Structure 1
Amino acid sequence: MFTLALLFIKLQGERSPKGINETIQELFEIIPGDRDQLLERSNSRCRRCAVVGNSGNLKQSQYGQEINNHDFVFRMNKAPTVGFESDVGCKTTHHFVYPESYRELGENVSMVLIPFKTLDLRWVISALTTGTINHTYIPVPRKIKVNKDKILIYHPVFIKYVYDNWLQHHGRYPSTGFLSIIFALHVCDEVDLYGFGADSKGNWHHYWENNPSSGAFRQTGVHDGDFESNITLTLASIDKIRFFKGR
């Protein structure tokens, strides 16, 4: 467990993670750990997954029905679907979040928590029980309505694997989008990407934003967006994924 604590320290600079052993034990007592259907492998059919990013290139793409036709649909952070169904679809099977990016999810949607710090695990415990944590570095939901049977935790060791082997230490740690892509490559037979990269005018922004010239997140220095994008394009060029760039 000491190695796990060191991983959390490295990810977001926690100098003294409190009670990591107790945190993990308490987490396993609250979340039953039943195997998600996504993790059950079957040789009977091909598993098709859509990873839906949040890029403005989804606007007027009319990808909605294509996305819905996949067996599994992964979304991330605060991405909405209501009002954007024709472009982004309405189906979601798994939603990747961290506390600061959480949004309310549908009843049958599995939440995949990406813990970038020990406090993220403390938060999900609190959000399912006492509701005592409502602030990390910004306000976070005090309580969440996710079914405990529908919660998966992205293992920090796998985050480190992605950072070491895929990103080669570019940026401080991987983005939620990139972690979702690598996750999909490990559990899906076919991976289709929608909503990644810039729009047709070269702007980086979210499809629900009114300001197409926004994209300050690219200047934070936390994630190396260009390096992640180049890896994605390389994967598409060797037919490991299919990359849909909008219309």
Structure 2
Amino acid sequence: MRLLQLCLAISLTSGFAAIFIYITGVSTLYDKYSLTDEDLSALLSLQSNFKKCVSANGLGLHAVSGRDYCQVAIQFPSDTVPKWRDPKTGELEGLSFDFNLCEAISIWERVRNSTTILTREFIDALPNGWEEYAWRRINKGILLNHCENKTLCMEKLALVLPETPPFIPRQFDRCAVIGNSGDLLKTRFGHEIDHYDAVVRENGAPIQNYTEYVGRKSTFRLLNRGSAKALDKVAELDETEKEVLIIKTTIHDTMSKMIREVPIHNPVYLMLGASFGSAAKGTGLKALELALSVCDSVDMYGFTVDPGYKEWTRYFSESRQGHTPLHGRAYYQMMECLGLIKIHSPMRADPNRMVKWVPSRDSLTAARIASEKLLSSRPLTGTLHMMMRNLGQPLGGSMLQFYLHLIGNCGIHIGCCFLHLMVPARNLLLPRSKPT
């Protein structure tokens, strides 16, 4: 028993020592980054102008600096009444969301210079691409046993898998992404929307009978699982048969049958896309991702982004439960103030509206270069940010479990602690809701 107690004491002491060494080193890490004075100035300018932009354009939102050059929080007025509850926990959505601007501009720049369409070229280039990835894009792919029968996998993907990317970055000049919000019926944007070079729509949102509000033009249509299952019905929405259909989920045997037998003349592809974490899987964000990968400038319509949100509505059908509306509004405002998109809504209906304090492309380029230096020199970026944001705060459930996990599982094996710390805790591009 005495030996057990001694081992436990050594384990706890070693664990706390490892955490202490790591935390005390955080404050000096910035001094070692290879950032010039110009780099620091670019990051500070980005953060400063971002806060001004949110205040000037966010319709009541404001942003505050975080604990380093990259962190900001977008906050809602204290009298905002959240309506959405997490279906798992029952907790109301928070009123403050954290963002890492350095990671945001770096990741979105990569999106802007890459394809979001899955290709055979991409799968072939991946190490064990067919065995480890391709089967995941086929419905019930688990039955294919990691594509042991590569021919069968290739056959199932053949109708939606081009050899090389069918579109290139900035192929279109001005693009509009049209959401499904009932807010579209408050303003007649149709004529304005039809003047874009390309228009991206979502799921089964109709055009007929709503053209004065949503326009006639449609270049791309992004489909979630439910809409993709009704691929034949979606294809009927496009009278020209030229609308490109992009499925963001998996290919089903029923879809393949529809493409072969209906027949569906529209091009059909699977979306590759970046991963923004569990809180950013909405079709709206993926539609913006698609547009940013093929367009020089992107405007968005039909997203619930104005104050006064009560319930998620669609312009063509009954109301239904939405998801994280405040989170979404903060995220889209972040995107606008990084120069990625321009928001159009009933309260921002003037087509000539100027987004005040949005950074210039030169200043964004300077900040991105500095950000990539910073991120490349920080192998512990994910965990570092998580720990810095929580220093001095009460240890809530997740953070307490994180530290106890380090202590309990590492013990006297100090190297194990650093192995755990090398694993990013989460994708910090996404906001983290703070409880109200």
Give the TM-score normalised by the residue count of structure 2: 0.42
Question: Which residue of 253, 256, 268 corresponds with 1:151?
Answer: 268
SS in 2 for 1:129: helix
Cα drift, residue 87 of structure 1: 0.8
Partner of 2:292, secondary structure, is: helix
- 2:293 paired with 1:186: yes
Residue 124 of structure 1 aligns to which amino acid in structure 2?
M
Alpha-carbon distance in 1 for matches of 2:312, 2:213: 17
Q: What's the counterpart of residue 237 of structure 2?
A: 105
Two-structure CA RMSD over aligned residues (Å): 3.1
Q: Please state how far the C-alpha of 1:23 moved relative to its aligned partner.
A: 5.4
Q: CA deviation at 1:99?
A: 4.9
State how many pairs are aligned.
206
* 2: CA distance, partners of 1:234 / 1:42: 22
Contact conserved, 1:111 with 1:146, CA < 8 A, in 2? no
Question: Gaps (5+ residues) in structure 2?
Answer: 1-129, 348-436
Using the aligned pairs only, state the percent identity: 22
C-alpha spacing 1:41/1:233, structure 2 compared with 1 (3 Å):
closer
1:204 equivalent to 2:312? Answer: yes
Tell me, what secondary structure is at the counterpart of 1:81? coil
2-side partners of 1:199 and 1:94: how far apart? 26
Shift of 1:233: 1.4
Distance (whole Å) between structure 2 residues aligned to residue 185 and residue 235 of structure 1: 11
By percentage of residues, which structure has more helix? 2
Alpha-carbon distance in 1 for matches of 2:151, 2:345: 44
Counterpart amino acid of residue 147 in structure 1: H
Do residues 127 (structure 1) and 228 (structure 2) align?
A: no
Match of 1:26 among 151, 155, 161: 155
Partners of 2:332 and 2:180 in 1: how far apart?
A: 15
Cα 1:112–1:8 change in 2 (3 A) is closer
- Is contact 2:193-2:214 (8 Å) kept? yes
Q: Distance in 2 between matches of 1:36 and 1:2?
A: 21
Shift of 1:97: 1.3
The 8 Å contact of residues 55 and 199 in structure 1, kept in 2 or not, is answered as: no
| Alignment match of 1:64 (pick from 190, 211, 215) | 190
What SS is found at the alignment partner of 1:178? helix
Mark the CA change 1:190 to 1:170 in structure 2 (over 3 Å): closer, same or farther: same
Alpha-carbon distance change, 193 to 24 in structure 1, aligned in 2, over 3 angstroms: farther
What's the CA shift for 1:41? 5.2
8 Å Cα contact 1:57/1:200 also seen in 2: no
Contact 1:56 1:199 in 2 (8 A): no
> 1:207 aligns to what SS in structure 2?
coil
Cα deviations across residues 216-246 of structure 1 (Å, max 9, x unaligned)? 243xxxxx55434322111112322100122
Aligned-partner residue type, residue 178 of structure 1: L
What one-letter code is carried by the residue in structure 1 that aligns with 2:246?
V
Indicate conservation of the 8 Å contact 2:303/2:345, yes or no: yes
- Does residue 236 (structure 1) correspond to residue 348 (structure 2)? The answer is no
Max radius of gyration: which structure?
2
Tell me the SS of whatever aligns to 1:152.
Answer: strand
Contact 1:51/1:192 (8 A) holds in 2: yes
Q: CA deviation at 1:198?
A: 5.4
Aligned residue for 1:162, secondary structure, equals coil
Q: 2:346 is matched with which residue? A: 246
Match of 2:302 among 191, 195, 202: 195
TM-score (structure 1 length as normaliser): 0.70
Cα deviations across residues 111-140 of structure 1 (Å, max 9, x unaligned)?
A: 11222x4xx34332122236xxxxxxxxxx
Do the aligned partners of residues 23 and 60 (structure 1) sit closer, same or farther apart at CA in structure 2, a change above 3 Å counting? Answer: farther
* Match among 275, 287, 296 for residue 162 of structure 1: 275
Shift of 1:175: 1.5
Listed one character per residue, the Cα deviations across residues 151-173 of structure 1 (whole Å, up to 9, x for unaligned) are 22212xx2xx333xxxx4326xx
Could you report, residue by residue, the CA deviation over 1:5-47 in whole angstroms, capped at 9, with x for unpaired residues? 58559xx9x693436545541145435737787x14578xx61
